[in-house]
C-alpha cells in the first residue's frame, strides 16, 4: 500500500469509528428520552408505565378543573369520552388550557393520579393534536363495539383537526 | 374583481415559470443563444406577476375585503393596519405567496448580477430556480389559493391569531424565508455544475456571497423566532427543540458546513463534490422544513389546523426535487473533472474545516433522527411517541464541544500543512485568557455552577483567540491590507459564536424561575432585587381588553423600574394572550408575566424570572448575521474573474513553492 493510500485508509477508519460511536450515543440518548403517548383508555387497560414519564392526552372534562387551596396546584380530569384520568399540575397553566379543549400533559402516574410536570400550549384553539384526535377516535370505536346495542355515543366535543 | 386579477397574475406567473424552467435549458443543450437569452426576461416577468399578486392580497387586507376567504380567516376590521399588513403572511396561503415572492426576488437578483458567468451555466441556474418556482406556484394555485372567495362575503373577519399580532412576527417569517429560499441559489448552482460535470473555482466564488447572504438571513430569522418565543409565549424559554424549530435549524447547520466547505473549494479546489452535496442538502432541508411546518404531521407549538392534501403535495415536491438532485449527483459526481485537488496534511486548515463539516453534519443527522423518530415509530406501529428535549440538548451540547475548542484555530492554521509548534503559541495565549476569565468569574460570583464557568471559558477562548488573530494581522503593516470584508465577516461571526456560548451556558445554568401566587401588596425577592405587586388595572387596546399588573422593582430602597405584564382578551376570537414584561439588560433580564387569577382575594399566579446574560444569545446570533453580510459584500466577489486571470489565480495555476506564502495570506 502506498503511504497516501494508507493515510486514506486510516482516515476512513477514523471516520467510521467516529460515526459508530456517535450513532451509539445518539440511540442511547434517544432511548432514554422517548416519551410514549397514552390516552385515559390506555391507562385504564394498564398499558401506561408507572415509574416513567409519558404523555397523557385528551379533553379537559367540563367542570373538572379545581384549584387546591390558595397555591398553584390545579387538579383536572382528562377524558377521551370513554374513560377518564384524574391529573394534577403545580405551576402556571398555558392560556389555551380550558375545559372542553384538548390537552397534552407530560408527567408520571402516582397511585392512580397523573402528576404533570408540563402542560402543553397550542397556538390555535381549533387545533387538536393528531395523537389526541386519534385517541378519541380509538375510544369511540371501542365504545361502539362495547355497547353496540345502545344508541350512538354522544359525539366528542371536537373530532379531529378542523381545517378552515 | 381585484382578487380575480390576483388569481390571474398567479396563473401567468406559473406559465412564465414553466417557460423559465424549460426554454433556457433547451437552449443550453441545443446551443440556441436566443432561447438562453430568454432566461432573464422570463425571470423579470415572473417576478412582476408574483409581486402583483402579493400587492393585490396586501390591498385586500388593507381594505378589509372579507369576501376573500383568506382575508376573512386572518384579519378583522378592528386589527391595526400594520398587523393587517403582516397578516398577509400570517396564515398558510399568504406565507406561501411570500415564499414565492422571495424566490422570485432572489431569482431576479441572480439574473441581474450574473453577467460575468458563462451564458450556458447561467441559463441552467435560472432554469433550476424556475423548477422550484413551478412547485410553489402550483402548490398555491391547486391546494392553497389565497384568492379563494367566500360567497356571501363574511361581514367580519375571524381575526389574526393574537400570538401573531406582534412586531416579532412581522419580521420573523420574511427573514426566515429569505434564508430558506436563498439556499435555492446554491442548490441551482450545484445542479448546473453537475449538468456541466465541472466545478470551476470562478463559479464557486460567484456562489459564495449568495450562500453567505442566505445563511445570514436564516441566522437572523431563527434568532428573531427565538426572541419572539421568549417574550410572546409568556413562559420565558428561548429554544424548545420543537419540531418546527428543528426544521429551521437543520438547514442552518448544513448551511454552516456549506459556507465553510465553499472556502476550501474556492481557494484550494478540494471538496468539490462534497460542496455540491451540501448545497443540495441545504435546500432539501429547507423544503423539509416547509413540509414539517405546513403539513402538520408533527405535534408542535407551531402546528396550525391543516389540510392533509397539502402535506402530500409538498412531500411529493420534496421527493421529486431531492431524489432528482441526488440521482443527478450519484450519476455525475464521480465523473466531475478533478484537476486541482491538493493534498493536505492532517494538521491544516483543510482538516479543520473538514472537522467543522463533520460536526455540523452529525449534529444535523442527530436532530433529524430525533425530529422524525415519532413519524417513524408511528408508521412502524411502535406506538405514539415523542422525543423529549433532553435528547437534543445533551447531544447537541457535546457535539458542540469540539467545535468550540477547534474553531479559533481555523484562521491561524495554514492551508495544506501546519505544525503543532506554530499553533501552540496562539493556543497558549487563548488558554491564558480563557482561564483568567473563568477564574475571575468564579471568584466574583459565589456558587457559580460549573456549566456557567465552562461557558465563560469557552466564550473567552474563542473571543480571546479571535482578538489575538486580528491583532497579529493589524500589527503587521505588510498584511494589514488583507483584513478584507471576507476576513472581517469571519472574525465577527466567530466572535458571535463565543458570545452565544457564554449566553447559553450562563443563562441555562443560573436562571432563577419563581412561579408564585401574589396578591396586591406582596413582595418577592429574587437575586438582590425585590419585586412588589402594586395593583391590577384594566385597559382597552384597539382590539382587546386587558388586565394589567403593576409591579415595582426595587434594588434595595431604590425604585429600579415598573413592569406592567398583561393578560389580553381579544374581542374577535375571545382568545387570551399573555404579555410578559421584561426589564432587559446587558447582564440580566428580569421577566414578569401573569398566569391566572387565583381565588377571590385578588391574588394572581405570577412568573418572576431572573435570567442572566440571556441577551447574549441573540447578540451572538446578530454578530453571526452581521459577519455573513459583511463577508457577502466583500468587493472581491464582485470582480469579474475572467478578466483578471493574473490577479485571481485558480488553485491549479498556483505554483507549489508559492503555496506556503499564499496560504499565510489566505
Nearest CB to A70 within list B305, B362, B599: B599
Q: What is the mean pLDDT of chain B?
A: 88
Provide the whole-model pTM: 0.90
Please indicate if any CB of chain B lies within 8 Å of the CB of A72.
Answer: yes
- Provide the domain count of chain A: 2
Domain residue spans of chain B: 1-165, 419-510+618-641, 512-613
Check residue B664 and give its pLDDT: 42
Contacts of A131 in chain B (CB under 8 A): 299, 384
Long-range contacts, stretch B357-360, CB < 8 angstroms, 24+ apart: B357/B257, B357/B260, B357/B261, B357/B274, B357/B278, B358/A15, B358/A18, B359/B399, B359/B400, B359/B402, B359/B403, B360/B253, B360/B254, B360/B256, B360/B257, B360/B403
Residue of B nearest to A29 (CA): B391
Q: Are residues A29 and A99 in the same domain?
A: no
Check residue B301 and give its pLDDT: 46
Q: Are residues A113 and A138 in the same domain?
A: yes
Check residue A141 and give its pLDDT: 78
Contacts of A125 in chain B (CB under 8 A): 573, 575
Report CB contact under 8 Å: A72, B388: no
Evaluate whether residue A154 is within a structural domain.
Answer: no
- Mean pLDDT over residues B356-374, rounded? 92
> What DSSP character marks residue A162?
P
Which residues of A, range 76-95, sit inside 8 Å of B by Cβ?
91-95
Residue B175: pLDDT band (50, 70, 90) is very high
- Is the pLDDT confidence value at B575 over 90? no
Q: Following DSSP, what letter does each residue of B455-509 receive, concatenated?
A: HHHHHHHHHHHHHHHHHHHHH-HHHHTT--HHHHHHHHHHHHHHHHHHHHHHHHH
Check residue B324 and give its pLDDT: 95
**Contact criterion met (CB below 8 Å) for B531 and B604:** no
Residue B307: pLDDT band (50, 70, 90) is low
C-alpha cell at position B509: 445554568
Q: Where is pLDDT greater, at B231 or A5?
A: B231
Residue A155: pLDDT band (50, 70, 90) is very low
- Percent of chain B at pLDDT > 90 equals 64
B239 vs B224: CA distance, rounded Å: 11
Taking alpha carbons only, the member of B484, B482, B494, B495 closest to residue B637 is: B484
Q: What Cα–Cα distance (Å) separates residue B609 from each residue in B388, B485, B577?
A: 23, 40, 19
Q: Where is pLDDT greater, at A128 or B560?
A: B560
Check residue B648 and give its pLDDT: 38
Report CB contact under 8 Å: A92, B302: no
Report CB contact under 8 Å: A134, B370: no
C-alpha cell at position A111: 397511585
Check residue B644 and give its pLDDT: 39
- Mean pLDDT over residues B632-646, rounded? 64
Report CB contact under 8 Å: B305, A71: no
Evaluate whether residue A98 is within a structural domain.
Answer: yes
Provide CB contacts within 8 A for B144, sequence distance 6+: B92, B93, B96, B307, B310
Q: Are residues A128 and A72 in the same domain?
A: yes
Please indicate if any CB of chain B lies within 8 Å of the CB of A20.
Answer: no
Report CB contact under 8 Å: B383, A36: yes
Evaluate whether residue A151 is within a structural domain.
Answer: no
The kind and range of the H/E element at B517 are: strand B512-518
The string of pLDDT tens digits covering residues B489-547 is: 999 999 999 999 999 999 999 999 999 999 999 999 999 899 999 999 999 988 899 99
- Mean pLDDT over residues B143-156, rounded? 88
B61 vs B76: CA distance, rounded Å: 9
Check residue A149 and give its pLDDT: 46
Task: Name the β-bridge partners of B68.
Answer: B149
Highest mean pLDDT, choosing among A145-154, B397-406, B493-502, B571-580: B493-502
Evaluate whether residue A164 is within a structural domain.
Answer: no
Burial B87-107 (b: 16+ CB within 10 A, else e): bbbbbbbbbbbbbbbbbbbbb
Evaluate whether residue A78 is within a structural domain.
Answer: yes
- Is the pLDDT confidence value at B603 over 50? yes
Report CB contact under 8 Å: A70, B517: yes
Taking alpha carbons only, the member of B231, B337, B81, B299 closest to residue B607 is: B231
The string of pLDDT tens digits covering residues A31-77 is: 888 888 898 998 998 888 888 889 898 889 999 999 887 778 999 99
Domain containing residue A46: 37-146
Report CB contact under 8 Å: B305, A120: no
Check residue B297 and give its pLDDT: 65
Contacts of B342 in chain A (CB under 8 A): none
The string of pLDDT tens digits covering residues B394-407 is: 889 988 999 999 99
Burial class (CB in 10 A: 0-12, 13-18, 19+), B377: middle
What is the interface size between A and B, counted as CB pairs within 8 Å? 119
Q: Are residues A29 and A95 in the same domain?
A: no
Phi/psi for B551 (5° steps) reads -120, 125
A62 vs A67: CA distance, rounded Å: 14
Check residue A154 and give its pLDDT: 40
- Mean pLDDT over residues B157-186, rounded? 89
- Is the pLDDT confidence value at B202 over 90? no
C-alpha cell at position B426: 496562539
Residue A124: pLDDT band (50, 70, 90) is low
0.85 surpassed by complex ipTM:
no
Taking alpha carbons only, the member of B160, B8, B332, B124 closest to residue A123 is: B160
Check residue A115 and give its pLDDT: 94
Q: Are residues A90 and A115 in the same domain?
A: yes
**Contact criterion met (CB below 8 Å) for A76 and A60:** yes
- Mean pLDDT over residues B607-623, rounded? 96
Check residue B407 and give its pLDDT: 95
Check residue B140 and give its pLDDT: 92
Q: Are residues A27 and A47 in the same domain?
A: no
- Is the pLDDT confidence value at B220 over 70? yes
CATH number for the domain including A130?
2.40.50.140
**Contact criterion met (CB below 8 Å) for B168 and B228:** yes
Please indicate if any CB of chain B lies within 8 Å of the CB of A53.
Answer: yes
C-alpha cell at position B82: 400594520
- Mean pLDDT over residues B219-234, rounded? 90
- Mean pLDDT over residues B39-66, rounded? 96
Contacts of A120 in chain B (CB under 8 A): 301
Q: Are residues A111 and A55 in the same domain?
A: yes
Nearest CB to B575 within list A35, A67, A125: A125
Report CB contact under 8 Å: A33, B388: yes
Check residue B152 and give its pLDDT: 84
Evaluate whether residue A83 is within a structural domain.
Answer: yes
The string of pLDDT tens digits covering residues A85-99 is: 999 999 888 887 888
Evaluate whether residue A157 is within a structural domain.
Answer: no
**Contact criterion met (CB below 8 Å) for B369 and B395:** no
Residue B468: pLDDT band (50, 70, 90) is very high
Residue of A nearest to B388 (CA): A33
Residue of B nearest to A39 (CA): B384
Q: Where is pLDDT greater, at B373 or B309?
A: B373
Highest mean pLDDT, choosing among B117-121, B262-266, B497-501, B630-634: B497-501
B335 vs B193: CA distance, rounded Å: 12
Residue of A nearest to B606 (CA): A92
Residue to substitute from A58, A95, A137, interface B, most B β-carbons within 10 A: A95
- Is the pLDDT confidence value at A150 over 60? no
- Percent of chain A at pLDDT > 70 equals 80
Put residue B98 in one of left, alpha, beta given phi > 0 → left and psi -120 to 50 → alpha. alpha
Check residue B660 and give its pLDDT: 42
Residue B298: pLDDT band (50, 70, 90) is low
Residue to substitute from A31, A34, A74, interface B, most B β-carbons within 10 A: A34
- Percent of chain B at pLDDT > 70 equals 93
Nearest CB to A22 within list B302, B362, B598: B362
Residue to substitute from B229, B384, B403, interface A, most A β-carbons within 10 A: B384
Residue of B nearest to A160 (CA): B305
The string of pLDDT tens digits covering residues B94-141 is: 989 999 999 999 999 999 988 888 999 999 999 999 999 999 999 999
Rg (CA), chain A: 23
B472 vs B470: CA distance, rounded Å: 5
Contacts of A163 in chain B (CB under 8 A): 305-307
Q: Are residues A138 and A98 in the same domain?
A: yes
Residue B470: pLDDT band (50, 70, 90) is very high
Nearest CB to A121 within list B161, B301, B386: B301
- Is the pLDDT confidence value at B339 over 70? no
Residue B282: pLDDT band (50, 70, 90) is very high
- How many angstroms away from the CA of B501 is the closest CA of chain A? 22
Please indicate if any CB of chain B lies within 8 Å of the CB of A125.
Answer: yes
Amino acid at each position: 500500500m502506498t503511504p497516501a493510500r494508507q493515510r486514506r485508509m486510516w482516515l476512513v477508519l477514523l471516520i467510521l469509528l467516529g460515526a459508530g460511536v456517535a450513532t451509539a450515543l445518539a440511540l442511547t440518548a434517544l432511548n432514554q428520552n422517548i416519551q410514549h403517548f397514552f390516552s385515559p383508555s390506555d391507562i385504564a387497560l394498564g398499558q401506561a408505565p408507572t415509574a416513567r414519564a409519558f404523555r397523557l392526552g385528551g379533553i379537559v372534562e367540563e367542570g373538572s378543573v379545581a384549584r387546591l387551596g390558595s397555591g398553584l396546584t390545579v387538579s383536572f380530569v382528562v377524558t377521551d369520552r370513554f374513560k377518564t384520568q384524574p391529573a394534577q399540575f403545580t405551576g402556571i397553566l398555558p392560556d389555551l388550557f380550558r375545559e372542553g379543549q384538548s390537552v397534552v400533559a407530560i408527567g408520571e402516574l402516582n397511585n392512580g393520579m397523573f402528576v404533570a410536570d408540563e402542560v402543553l400550549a397550542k397556538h390555535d384553539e381549533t387545533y387538536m393534536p393528531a395523537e389526541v384526535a386519534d385517541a378519541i377516535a380509538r375510544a369511540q370505536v371501542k365504545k361502539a363495539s362495547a355497547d353496540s346495542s345502545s344508541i350512538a355515543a354522544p359525539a366528542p366535543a371536537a373530532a379531529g383537526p378542523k381545517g378552515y | 374583481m381585484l382578487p380575480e386579477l390576483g388569481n390571474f397574475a398567479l396563473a401567468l406567473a406559473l406559465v412564465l415559470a414553466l417557460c423559465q424552467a424549460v426554454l433556457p435549458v433547451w437552449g443550453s443543450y441545443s446551443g440556441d443563444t436566443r432561447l438562453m437569452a430568454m432566461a432573464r426576461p422570463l425571470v423579470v416577468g415572473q417576478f412582476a406577476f408574483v409581486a402583483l399578486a402579493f400587492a393585490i392580497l396586501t390591498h385586500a387586507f388593507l381594505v378589509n375585503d372579507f369576501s376573500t376567504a383568506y382575508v376573512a380567516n386572518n384579519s378583522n376590521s378592528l386589527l391595526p393596519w400594520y398587523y393587517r399588513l403582516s397578516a398577509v403572511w400570517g396564515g398558510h396561503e399568504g406565507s406561501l405567496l411570500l415564499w414565492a415572492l422571495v424566490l422570485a426576488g432572489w431569482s431576479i437578483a441572480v439574473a441581474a448580477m450574473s453577467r460575468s458567468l458563462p451564458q450556458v451555466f447561467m441559463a441552467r441556474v435560472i432554469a433550476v430556480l424556475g423548477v422550484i418556482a413551478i412547485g410553489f406556484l402550483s402548490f398555491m394555485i391547486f391546494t392553497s389559493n389565497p384568492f379563494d372567495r367566500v360567497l356571501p362575503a363574511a361581514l367580519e373577519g375571524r381575526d389574526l391569531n393574537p400570538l401573531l399580532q406582534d412586531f416579532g412576527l412581522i419580521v420573523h417569517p420574511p427573514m426566515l424565508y429569505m434564508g430558506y429560499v436563498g439556499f435555492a441559489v446554491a442548490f441551482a448552482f450545484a445542479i448546473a455544475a453537475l449538468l456541466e460535470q465541472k466545478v470551476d473555482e470562478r463559479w464557486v466564488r460567484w456562489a459564495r456571497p449568495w450562500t453567505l447572504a442566505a445563511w445570514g438571513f436564516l441566522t437572523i430569522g431563527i434568532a428573531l423566532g427565538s426572541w419572539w418565543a421568549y417574550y410572546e409565549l409568556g413562559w420565558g424559554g428561548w429554544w424548545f427543540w420543537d419540531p418546527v424549530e428543528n426544521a429551521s435549524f437543520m438547514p442552518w447547520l448544513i448551511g454552516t458546513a456549506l459556507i465553510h466547505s465553499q472556502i476550501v473549494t474556492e481557494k484550494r479546489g478540494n471538496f468539490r463534490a462534497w460542496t455540491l452535496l451540501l448545497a443540495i442538502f441545504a435546500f432539501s432541508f429547507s423544503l423539509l422544513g416547509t413540509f414539517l411546518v405546513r403539513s402538520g404531521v408533527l405535534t408542535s407549538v407551531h402546528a396550525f389546523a391543516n389540510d392533509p392534501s397539502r402535506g402530500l403535495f409538498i412531500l411529493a415536491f420534496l421527493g421529486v426535487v431531492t431524489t432528482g438532485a441526488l440521482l443527478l449527483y450519484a450519476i455525475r459526481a464521480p465523473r466531475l473533472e478533478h484537476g486541482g485537488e491538493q493534498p493536505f496534511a492532517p494538521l491544516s486548515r483543510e482538516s479543520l474545516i473538514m472537522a467543522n463539516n463533520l460536526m455540523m453534519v452529525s449534529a444535523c443527522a442527530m436532530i433529524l433522527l430525533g425530529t422524525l423518530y415519532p413519524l417513524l415509530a408511528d408508521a412502524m406501529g411502535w406506538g405514539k411517541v415523542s422525543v423529549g428535549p433532553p435528547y437534543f440538548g445533551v447531544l447537541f451540547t457535546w457535539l458542540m464541544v469540539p467545535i468550540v475548542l477547534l474553531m479559533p484555530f481555523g484562521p491561524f492554521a495554514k492551508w495544506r500543512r501546519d505544525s503543532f509548534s506554530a499553533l501552540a503559541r496562539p493556543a497558549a495565549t487563548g488558554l491564558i485568557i480563557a482561564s483568567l476569565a473563568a477564574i475571575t468569574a468564579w471568584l466574583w460570583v459565589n456558587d457559580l455552577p460549573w456549566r456557567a464557568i465552562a461557558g465563560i471559558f469557552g466564550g473567552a477562548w474563542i473571543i480571546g483567540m479571535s482578538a489575538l488573530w486580528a491583532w497579529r494581522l493589524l500589527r503587521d503593516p505588510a498584511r494589514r491590507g488583507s483584513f478584507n470584508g471576507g476576513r472581517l465577516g469571519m472574525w465577527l461571526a466567530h466572535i458571535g459564536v463565543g458570545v452565544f456560548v457564554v449566553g447559553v451556558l450562563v443563562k441555562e445554568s443560573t436562571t432563577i424561575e419563581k412561579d408564585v401566587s401574589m396578591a396586591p401588596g406582596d413582595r418577592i425577592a429574587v437575586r438582590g432585587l425585590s419585586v412588589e405587586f402594586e395593583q391590577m388595572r384594566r385597559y382597552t387596546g384597539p382590539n382587546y381588553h386587558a388586565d394589567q399588573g403593576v409591579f415595582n422593582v426595587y434594588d434595595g430602597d431604590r425604585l429600579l423600574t415598573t413592569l406592567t405584564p398583561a393578560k389580553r382578551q381579544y374581542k374577535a376570537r375571545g382568545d387570551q394572550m399573555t404579555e410578559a414584561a421584561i426589564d432587559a439588560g446587558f447582564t440580566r433580564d428580569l421577566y414578569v408575566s401573569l398566569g391566572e387569577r387565583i381565588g377571590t382575594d385578588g391574588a394572581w399566579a405570577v412568573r418572576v424570572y431572573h435570567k442572566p446574560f440571556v441577551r447574549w444569545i441573540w447578540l451572538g446570533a446578530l454578530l453571526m448575521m452581521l459577519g455573513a453580510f459583511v463577508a457577502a459584500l466583500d468587493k472581491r466577489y464582485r470582480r469579474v474573474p475572467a478578466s483578471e486571470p493574473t490577479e485571481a489565480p485558480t488553485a491549479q495555476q498556483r505554483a507549489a513553492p508559492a503555496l506556503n506564502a499564499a496560504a499565510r495570506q489566505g
